Structure 1
């Protein structure tokens, strides 16, 4: 019994220290796991969620300290009772999680080692048995050192553990076990190899044939003969290959920009899982850092799960010169354990990460495309112009009065009593914006990438695109595009719109029309294309990422079937509708 107790003592003590240290390295990550347990879907004790971080630190420090106490034989009764209490609680938790399939990963070893719920429960049962051996054989647990050295070691274990927890909370985990660690390429971590195993799904079909109800189990093909399928149940037998990163996206309101940004040569990302919960001191540091990054040639974006209103408020309150895109909250929390935090990518590979406390320590090189004289005042003016240009159009498409009012408040226009009254502002805003843009063009020429950066270099284009002065400014746009100041595909869109306004066939297939909007049978068409046979090649040369057929579905819905009309056919449709 004496030797069995010593073996159990070493095994349990070392395991508690390792498990505790891994979580101590990332107490914020463990707190997220506790929040998951506390949620209404699991234990239904949401009142504890605000205290998850404090509980996390307490538990992981206690875990390490108890492991040390056990190894050195310090206060054996207290130590064993505490170990027993903890393992009973965690055994219940992992059983509940496994039996009711509530939490997929217990977080016992943080991100270093993922265990399934049943594996976690099995591990806790084994530990429970070992601790019970210690409980009944505690008389064999003797202190390794005398009283004073034992007390000093015990006290030091507590102080060092507490200090380490504080250190990683104020900076970042010392060891990064996540798929977003420095050196990893996000595209590679998301990729599924062609040779990867596929999910195996078992299908149970309940069906009737010749009036008799039967069941049939297969891989999805279904019974060969049947009169009626009553029900189909599926069960996952094998999940197949699961990539390390599954839900990482960078999205605007209109499109998925993940691939676009992961191909950027130098990308700085400001991660804020929840803007309203971000540390104010950290937000105050963002402007100088991100402005410096933009001037040095980096593309800078934000990433958050917060809504448009919060993103715009952040940009306004702190005079930030970058846009924030949408990403799942859990993913942003995983990327960097700081709110806000910084991570830097080079063609999708993580080259640096930092807590907001350490922003000053990040040294950014001056890139070849640096523009140290970027005009942020002009950029701010154009960003405000763009916000109004797009905002008034968002109001038009918003379905409810509440949505329209929220957008109006965000872009700084008066809230109207009647939803239709917003439309009276459309023309007024476009006219004022055009006056401002014309003055800017007169003073600076076209405000392109080298003057105001991206995506602000598109702001003037939007305003002119929505005006009656396309013909006047199209040559200026072409010149700006030839110098790399404006994307080629935007000039292509403007050229198509100019041709359509003048009743001529377009080149790139970007423009659509609805004929007979006031009739019972409106007809949606893509405006006639001059060279439809080569249009997709021309689109690719201009920088479009989709075909004319895909663009048509984007404009008019997935059921839309592209057909190229002639000008004569369109004129005839106009007359008959």
Structure 2
């Protein structure tokens, strides 16, 4: 019976670690953004780690994936189960902290492929912890395959090569709402009959010198007393469209609807112009010049303000308007800084890392 239980736990944990690791390995830059969120002052207050978020992210996703392989093939079982146990203890603490204090609304366990609420992430980690404890105390039943070492070596080589590729290009599989083929306007629409958010309002009044609280789901109560305060609690989340935070603003005016009607738009995207790769800006400007000669409208999209943009616009001849968009949204749209985006009446038709700028396909 012990061997059967261990075998089941081994398969479940190994496969889950590999799936989780590969999903994040597909987008290590996105996972690094999630780590930066955890390192922020409002969460763990580990700002000194923020500059190393990408390196930590790449190491963690490779290590997570390789550990799953090592468990399945039985390689270095003592090291493997100890590593699994320490990782899951840390992540269980992290997800509980995020859920209890409502610090990070999405743990990033499965990247953008599978969204889990903080409490779902915590209970998932608790289940994994129980399975790993079984493996830890019954590791004698974890048999080693003859090809275990070779399989582990191949896993390390594959994961390292894959991480290098997606970092220097873009994720091979795009799970985000801004993938190629998506129409941004359609992505922002709320279907008719979609569930709306339900809130509870706790109204506080002073009635004849005594504090009285009346709860409603929105209506202002009829009370013969002096209003003091109101507290709002979300009872049920409503439908949220896949794209809900996209804007293109210039000088305080939102031009999103207008730009979404344009044909042949080349968008130069930079989440933070001061951190943009300078060689990338040069490469992209070569594409911009050709695109302009072919009748494309050229615009920029960034979370940087005009003061930050000015010296770069002058140095790299970025002679087009940059529209403002929220930093988190720009990070979500495309992982490269800078990057190229092509829009056709609001539909994303091309997305390119600056290293692939020369692959931009012009419309005949």
Scaled by the length of structure 1, the TM-score of the pair is: 0.62
Alignment match, 2:247: 249
Alignment match, 2:88: 87
Alignment match, 1:100: 101
SS class of match (1:132) = helix
Alignment match, 1:339: 337
Which whole-Å CA distance do the structure 2 matches of 1:158 and 1:223 have between them? 63
Is residue 215 of structure 2 the alignment partner of residue 217 of structure 1?
yes
Instruction: Tell me by how many angstroms 1:225 deviates.
Output: 2.5
Instruction: Tell me by how many angstroms 1:213 deviates.
Output: 2.8
Q: Deviations over 1:266-316 (max 9, x none)?
A: 211111000010011101112210111111111111111111122222221
Conserved? CA contact 1:291–1:321, under 8 Å: no
Which whole-Å CA distance do the structure 1 matches of 2:49 and 2:210 have between them? 54
Alignment match, 1:189: 187
Is residue 197 of structure 2 the alignment partner of residue 199 of structure 1?
yes
Stretch deviating more after TM superposition (42-51 or 206-215): 206-215
Larger Rg: 1
Structure 1 residue runs of 5 or longer lacking an equivalent are: 367-577
Which whole-Å CA distance do the structure 1 matches of 2:221 and 2:286 have between them? 65
Counterpart of 1:161 (choices 156, 159, 162) is 159
Counterpart of 2:206 (choices 199, 205, 208) is 208
Alignment match, 2:289: 291
SS class of match (1:242) = coil
Counterpart of 2:277 (choices 276, 279, 282) is 279
Number of positions where the alignment pairs a residue of Structure 1 with one of Structure 2: 363
Is residue 306 of structure 2 the alignment partner of residue 308 of structure 1?
yes
| Higher relative helix content | 1
Which whole-Å CA distance do the structure 1 matches of 2:92 and 2:348 have between them? 37
Conserved? CA contact 2:341–2:351, under 8 Å: yes
Alignment match, 1:359: 357
SS class of match (2:350) = strand
Instruction: Tell me by how many angstroms 1:212 deviates.
Output: 3.7
SS class of match (1:283) = helix
Alignment match, 1:235: 233
Alignment match, 2:111: 110
Alignment match, 1:50: 51
SS class of match (1:80) = helix
SS class of match (1:233) = strand
**Residues 388-399 of structure 1 aligned to structure 2 (within 5 Å):** none
Conserved? CA contact 2:284–2:340, under 8 Å: no
Conserved? CA contact 2:338–2:353, under 8 Å: yes
Conserved? CA contact 2:177–2:243, under 8 Å: yes
Instruction: Tell me by how many angstroms 1:207 deviates.
Output: 1.3
Is residue 316 of structure 2 the alignment partner of residue 318 of structure 1?
yes
Alignment match, 1:31: 32
Counterpart of 2:149 (choices 148, 151, 158) is 151
Alignment match, 1:135: 136
SS class of match (1:247) = coil
Which whole-Å CA distance do the structure 2 matches of 1:215 and 1:225 have between them? 10
Which whole-Å CA distance do the structure 2 matches of 1:178 and 1:96 have between them? 26
Conserved? CA contact 1:16–1:64, under 8 Å: yes
Instruction: Tell me by how many angstroms 1:263 deviates.
Output: 1.1
Conserved? CA contact 1:283–1:340, under 8 Å: yes
Instruction: Tell me by how many angstroms 1:324 deviates.
Output: 1.1
Alignment match, 1:78: 79
Alignment match, 2:20: 19
Q: Deviations over 1:411-443 (max 9, x none)?
A: xxxxxxxxxxxxxxxxxxxxxxxxxxxxxxxxx
Which whole-Å CA distance do the structure 1 matches of 2:210 and 2:70 have between them? 68
Conserved? CA contact 1:216–1:222, under 8 Å: no
Please tell me the root mean square deviation across aligned C-alpha atoms, in Å.
1.0
Which whole-Å CA distance do the structure 2 matches of 1:331 and 1:206 have between them? 37
| Higher relative strand content | 2
Which whole-Å CA distance do the structure 2 matches of 1:129 and 1:43 have between them? 26
Which whole-Å CA distance do the structure 1 matches of 2:10 and 2:109 have between them? 19
Conserved? CA contact 2:249–2:323, under 8 Å: yes
Is residue 62 of structure 2 the alignment partner of residue 61 of structure 1?
yes
Conserved? CA contact 2:200–2:218, under 8 Å: yes
Conserved? CA contact 1:8–1:130, under 8 Å: yes
Stretch deviating more after TM superposition (254-263 or 62-71): 254-263
Instruction: Tell me by how many angstroms 1:193 deviates.
Output: 2.2
Conserved? CA contact 2:17–2:67, under 8 Å: yes
Q: Deviations over 1:126-182 (max 9, x none)?
A: 0000000000110000012x2xx3211111100110110010000000000000001
**Residues 418-429 of structure 1 aligned to structure 2 (within 5 Å):** none
Which whole-Å CA distance do the structure 2 matches of 1:230 and 1:320 have between them? 53
Q: Deviations over 1:244-273 (max 9, x none)?
A: 111111000131011111111121111100
